[in-house]
Amino acid sequence: MKNSLEQIKKLPTKAEISLNKTAQLQQVIAQLEANLSRKENQKVTEKSKRN
């Protein structure tokens, strides 16, 4: 029983860590999407300048 109580007490900390990791992953994904978008825009701009 004591072991279960200790595990339950650790749950809020584990949940917070999980949320932080989720937020970090979302930030990394957003940065990757922004980089891809910029590169695509650069390609379009270069093609339009050639024509």
Q: How far apart are CA 51 and CA 48, in angstroms?
A: 5
Indicate the pLDDT class of residue 2, thresholds 50, 70 and 90.
confident
Supply 36's token pair. 């891809």
For the segment 15-42, what is each residue's pLDDT rounded down to a tens digit? 999 999 999 999 999 999 999 999 999 9
Q: How far apart are CA 12 and CA 7, in angstroms?
A: 10
Which helix (H) or strand (E) covers residue 41, if one does? Answer: helix 2-50
Residue spans per domain, the chain: 1-51
pLDDT, residue 12, reads 95
Query: Smallest Cα–Cα separation from 27: which of 15, 19, 39?
Result: 19
pLDDT, residue 51, reads 73
Q: How far apart are CA 24 and CA 34, in angstroms?
A: 15
